[in-house]
Amino acid sequence: MSTNTITASIGSLLGQKIKDYGLLFKFRLSLTVVFSAAMGFLLAMGGSIDWSGLGLLCLGGFLLTGASNALNQVLEKDYDKLMPRTANRPLPTGRMSVSEAVLAAGLSSVIALMIFAIYFNPLTAFIGSLSLISYAFIYTPMKRVSPIAVFIGAFPGALPPLIGWIAVTGTLGAEALILFGIQFIWQLPHFWAIGWVAYDDYLKGGYKLLPSEGGRDKNTAFQCVAYALLLIPVTLMPYIIGLTGWVSAILLVVIGLLFAGTTVNLYRKCDKKAALTVMFSSFLYLPLALLLLVLDKV
């Protein structure tokens, strides 16, 4: 075997391993979580920015989120085999062993929590550990038991901006709770839209993620509408308590109404195309809403 062939083989194996870790840690999802944490951090900083602190928060947040996602896949590897959407992940295909995934999750979580505790404060580390434990060991098994899993999963899912705020202030104040509330409520129509789009796939894995027993019906759509509308007054709370100004308040009402409009369309049509619109709109809504808050504060 030539040197070039050996080099190409090693490069191919290395490339696949990097790709597998990207799938294990859910790279793109982890980045969105890190973004939320960074927005909470910047809001707490106000006009000045601690760039080294922001970098360490993003690193710790990415490692902790990746660890949570890895443990999620360890616990669900047998069910991932049943769904086309997840069948090619490294664990169900056997490209990665359970012990390797657990080791990666363990090392990542320890490093992340050390960063949180040493560079920031013990409360940041505590909330971070709470996020990992509740996501991996409460939300994950509940997904096959009851649709209440979406509400349970929304708790760790809403912690990133709160963690970002606490990393700066060291306290759990009203501002942090409002940021938590915004992301918590946003997740409900967001995940129900995903559950609607991937409904058939989730059924194969035995997951129960839509709030209505009828699955993709008007009751599920109505709940999407209700929580999307609830987002509007909740996003006004930063203005009400004096954290941000009127410019972001007005713009948040506008984008909130636009997002709610996609859920009303889902209620009217109850089809996959309308659910896709809600899903993609929700992906745009949250980062835009958080950016508006940060820019108005800074």
Span 49-73, pLDDT tens digits:
899 999 999 999 999 999 999 999 9
pTM reported for the whole predicted model: 0.92
List the Cα angle 186/188/194 in 5-degree steps. Answer: 105
| 114-136 residue pLDDT tens | 999 999 999 999 999 999 999 99
> Which H or E run contains 263?
helix 246-269
Specify the range with the lowest mean pLDDT, choosing from 119-123, 147-151, 286-290: 147-151
pLDDT at residue 206, as a whole number: 87
Whether residue 167 is predicted with pLDDT greater than 80 in this model: the reply is: yes
240-260 residue pLDDT tens: 999 999 999 999 999 999 999
Averaged pLDDT, 74-96 = 92
**Side chain identity, residue 100:** E
Residue ranges of domains in the chain: 22-172, 174-298
CB 60 within 8 A of CB 260: no
Give yes or no for residue 2 having a pLDDT over 90. no
CATH for the stretch 22-172: 1.10.357.140
Does 205 have pLDDT greater than 90?
Answer: no
Q: In this predicted structure, what is the pLDDT of residue 249?
A: 96
pLDDT the model gives residue 41: 97
> Which residues are CB-contacts of 170 (< 8 A; sequence separation ≥ 6)?
120, 121, 123, 124
For residue 18 the two structure tokens come to 């990097």
Cα separation, 253 vs 83, whole angstroms: 38
Average pLDDT, the chain: 93
Is 68 buried (19+), middle (13-18) or exposed (0-12) by CB count in 10 A? Answer: buried
For the chain, percent of residues with pLDDT exceeding 90: 83
